[in-house]
Chains A and B, each alone.
Chain A
């Protein structure tokens, strides 16, 4: 054996872990590599026309560049070497790199085009994603990362903004460039005559900006194309568009529309056309005639006329140019060619009519089949594009303003002067808006960017524990718009998401089903191929086209009509109709494409989605839909239809094609078919359908499914070994488990994802018995000695940042320093430098830091908040600007060892609260081994919850620890074929295998042991199930939650106790609690709670007028002079009188809640008098 110690940094295999973070990082990388460039190309140059002279200035943006993060001086803006994330976290600054771009000016002086003048403009400091290509940590190995004070397993994928780690949570979007049949009742409310049916397509440009276009069906048989321009939806008769797009004739349109209907097929398989199509085509064309539009030019003229007022930039252009711009910028924007647009529009119409005629079904927008994902890089790109466009537009108006204001003095032709104007347009603000977007998660946008939500895009990446951190990056949200929706259909778990989204790992409660997690095998397609090179869209498309043509596709050339299904199938490549394939050939073509996908020759990208929708009787609209785009879900499966030849034949499939594929699960079975399973593909491993966290539950296939869901929740709130760099972190709050262990019973995912680097619990000896009654109702008894020996010990680290630059004016900031006042001896915790000693204990309310203002000669003490003692763990100071300290991070450490009321859980959704720390000697003990359990849980936790895996874990861990081995507990083991292994023992059940392990070592086969009462020394009447179970300590601790109060702060208005634990308020005693006391007849208790312990008040009431408010105190004329020694001071006679009755005769004292008096006062303010009638 080599001397290398196990678990050393070099041993880390981070490939699997890196794969999990890839969607985030690759999307950002693409933005840096190509996305920005593409986006800049798509930004329309701004043309400034001189109002009086025939001069034009075109302003363009070119050559975007984001630089590696560098340290900058606040004022001088000089750089001093690279900035590293660790420094940002400590100094609470953002991890940003300089963003520059060229602004090009080009003059057009009355037709004479001048040279391009380029100016490099600084767009500020752009947030950089960690471990992206621009991160200074990129490509660093684990050991190097450690030297940069990072986690050895630092995966990145998030941003650091003001020292906080935030990431962009991916959101589900409708699948791009796929026309979807949609039925939505809101469509019929659009206008008179609209039905609830439409074909919707979300068109995405190369720069990732998207525009959704809807083709509505009208009840009269026609169709309207709806598209959004500047926040308003415009509906155009589809005929106008068809004609405006290309030079065509009525006959051609008619023929195209009706081409997919043929009488001879009647109602066979895959027939989508009906005889009614002819009438509808007629109606569409008639509409044109009614508007007397016959030629393309007329149609363009019509569009231009109507859109000229809206297209502000083109107000002075001819109608044709406006119409052209409308067609280019708003209609089916993913296509550049008008001919392609025409074809797609025809296809959409055909699909729409088929939807109407019920020859195809609507596509489900909630199904993953019709969805993709919005990635961080893309979101930033589209947001940045809008901001840059706004910046350019604003720049244009500033120049025009300047011309208007200064007139001749301002030389428009001098690019230097123009640039000076643009400088006022605060270019660095662009990066700032991006940073703000990341900080708040809010998009400040007018157009909405074709997104369904404006807020909630970014989330804090909490490092409560590694699993929580990791699952952030695997989470996919359905969109905030659905969170508030009343109906629950969007939350449904649909079979389409099999293998892509984990059915187990979703929170219960309000985000249930909306916040999903990707399975651990699920990937997102990116712009990079498997070698990490940028894919060339054009090359890929031509090679796919060539292959299609080779295999028998008829290209869709102009003016060629082909019948539609069932004879031929339309082929769409990324939403562009490229041709037709005879339906008899299509299966062969699909198989061929799949073969090419799998083969290593890079002709066809391995993540091509071959969405073959076969002919059916009124199913999904048939066709061959090919997708090469990014941000699709894909997952690997094994293609078994291709001879293996030693290859694994792993094919990446998407949710769109998966629906129509035959994928075999490893446990065989024919899915209830009578005929043999015609499988072409095979799942690699059944655990592929689970997320990373769900994969960590041992034998989750033996648990009741909700328990596995609970475990996924609880794993993420476990107080665990959150970070190996915990000493170097300055997080607000960090939870830390002092003595974690690696679980004995573990799934293969533990090794694969290096979970042992961040263990989450302890192997505790758990006895399942009802002992002492303190384990009732999910309570659990901890062994006091075990706890004293360190079990579940932990700390909370909390950092307070004292920033002198934070408050007050600039001059005040300069005069402030960290210093302790010389006179003040009251705070021994603070050193002369104003900072506390490390290791010092700070009690609640004690000062821990002192600052001194040299001008006002005042010291300011920072007092410790909270109710707990804390220790100073570390003090970190910012020495950036030489002389004075300006910032200090003071980190407190709260010891949090288990106490009664702390929460623990096993890995099977079995949570419990510690009810007692029971003395070791009173715990039951085993006669043979003398072992006392660390933890006792009640057997009632099992029958109703059916967490069999927990029992299995106990037995397996017992066997494992006796044999000195880890025990593999990967779920679905029985389903996986084991050709190589001996099949005899595999047929036996899991328990049999585990039982034998115990029996070999002289233990009971079933994991039971005879225990003796620790108190009496007698044998317990039955055998007790005992064994090690991996237990997690959850972060919910009584110390953070307990609330007690006898007296305390009250609300000044109501005189009732204030609410809130922080302020020392009372526990709420609400209506339901009141009801229950009433039901018990506990009147005195009720009175005590609601009155005596609340706003008890003795009021003086005038019994004559019954008023509560008119009492006045009459000041005694003479102050009492006689004070006889030894006698209690004479109680002055009550001098209260009614102001209204002008007498004190009828005054009585009445005990009442103060709020009653308040009510009387409030009523009085509304001119309502409340009168009390006193009896007795």
Chain B
């Protein structure tokens, strides 16, 4: 029973890659792996986020917890996070989680002196470590200067005389503990669809009927070839498994006009990062963590006696 039958060599093909966005194909594997990857990306890839706030002066309109909460949700560049220690495991500091190995210190000192309101933003946070700073969106996305104004994420607005002074400690964490540590804004995958049009049946439709049928799908999956006037699949991945076209075909009295199946071993992933970690890095970190987790699960050789307990599974796990 050596696991050759189980072993598959998944393939990844990257389609699109930006700093905070990635689209890739994952083939030759099954839903469990795809979903595990998704789950790890959302909740187990570590990042750094502000976890402890000591407020010295806060005369703003927002209360202390509110500001602390807002600070926590600011994404910090966390390329270093994989190498950092969790404060709870850190032996360099005596458990208070404020040493250089497990934490980054931030300071914020703002006072509004003018008559107009002052926006306190993530840019006003001064980091003790230049590798861990609030994510700067203005550089990456210079097209939308008007909206973001290059001022970072607003924390609070101050009017004349109001002041905010605080010290914040950022720590490593994972999204499972708190959403602020999640590096992924969205990770999703879909099964790659296989679409077979029954050409014979399709030809029995008039052009109007074809158009009507095509329009029944809210997304543009099908279109009519302007030359041959045949229905063709333009974008299979636009199909959202909503069965609209199948239902429409049935309603038109042509069941079996099209057959759509989800390929059980091909997935199209979309990853959006918060900016804390680059999308590409996010995937790599996720695979790394997944591997670590599997390593932890893999039973060592000396637990063969536990075979009764695990049966076939034990052998499989040992074999990798």
Contact = CB atoms under 8 A, between A and B. Distances in A.
A785 B179 contact: yes
Interface residues of A, number: 43
B189 A1017 contact: yes
Given A1004-B242, A1016-B35, A839 B58 contact: yes
A1016 B182 contact: no
From A790, A893, A999, A1017, name the one whose CB has the most chain B CB atoms within 10 angstroms.
A1017
A928 B31 contact: no
Contacts of A788: 178-180
A789 B179 contact: yes
Nearest to B72: A788
Given A895-B65, A927-B189, A921 B242 contact: no
Contacts of A1019: 191, 241, 262
B238 A1002 contact: yes
B218 A1018 contact: no
A570 B220 CA distance: 76
Contact of A1016 (B32, B64, B179): B32
B188 A871 contact: no
28 contacts: A785-B175, A785-B179, A788-B178, A788-B180, A789-B73, A789-B179, A790-B73, A795-B63, A839-B58, A871-B65, A873-B63, A920-B42, A920-B175, A921-B175, A926-B188, A927-B189, A927-B190, A927-B191, A931-B186, A999-B218, A1001-B218, A1005-B218, A1008-B242, A1012-B35, A1016-B31, A1017-B36, A1017-B38, A1019-B191
Interface string A994-1021: 0000110111110011101011111100
B21 to A, nearest CB: 12
Contacts of A795: 63, 65
Nearest to B271: A930
B272 to A, nearest CB: 7
B77 interface: no
A1005 B42 CA distance: 30
Nearest to A789: B179
Interface string B242-285: 11100000000000000000100000001010000000000000
A164 to B, nearest CB: 24
B43 A1018 contact: no
A89 B47 CA distance: 47
A927 B241 contact: yes
Given A1002-B220, A1017-B189, A1019-B262, 18 more contacts: A784-B179, A786-B179, A789-B73, A790-B69, A871-B65, A925-B188, A927-B188, A927-B241, A928-B188, A998-B218, A1002-B238, A1003-B218, A1004-B240, A1012-B35, A1017-B31, A1017-B35, A1019-B241, A1023-B243
Contacts of A67: none
A895 B66 CA distance: 10
A929 interface: yes
B61 interface: yes
A727 interface: yes
Contacts of B182: 785, 920
A193 interface: no
Interface in A393-429: none
Contacts of A114: none
B61 A930 contact: no
Interface string A770-805: 000000000000001110111001010000000000
A1012 B38 CA distance: 12
Nearest to A784: B179
A788 to B, nearest CB: 4
Nearest to B44: A921
B176 interface: yes
Contacts of B238: 1002
Interface string B55-76: 1001001011110010001000
Given A1009-B240, A1017-B38, A1017-B189, A920 B32 contact: no
A102 interface: no
Contacts, number: 103
A928 B179 contact: no
A930 B64 CA distance: 33
Contacts of B55: 839
B41 to A, nearest CB: 9
A367 interface: no
A724 to B, nearest CB: 10
A789 B49 CA distance: 13
A895 B67 CA distance: 13
B170 interface: no
B178 A921 contact: no
Contacts of B219: 1002
B187 interface: yes
A309 interface: no
A930 B42 CA distance: 11
Of listed A788, A919, A1001, residue having the most chain B CB within 10 A: A788
A929 B179 CA distance: 19
A738 interface: yes
Given A727-B61, A1017-B38, A919 B176 contact: yes
B39 interface: yes
Interface in B164-198: 175-176, 178-180, 182, 186-191
B175 A927 contact: no
B286 interface: no
A1010 B31 contact: no
B34 A1017 contact: yes
Contacts of A873: 63
A992 B176 CA distance: 41
A387 B65 CA distance: 53
Nearest to B180: A788
A927 B187 CA distance: 9
Contacts of B58: 839
B188 A930 contact: yes
A998 B35 CA distance: 28
Give the one of A921, A925, A926, A1004 with max B CB within 10 A. Answer: A921
Given A789-B73, A921-B39, A1017-B31, A1004 B188 contact: no
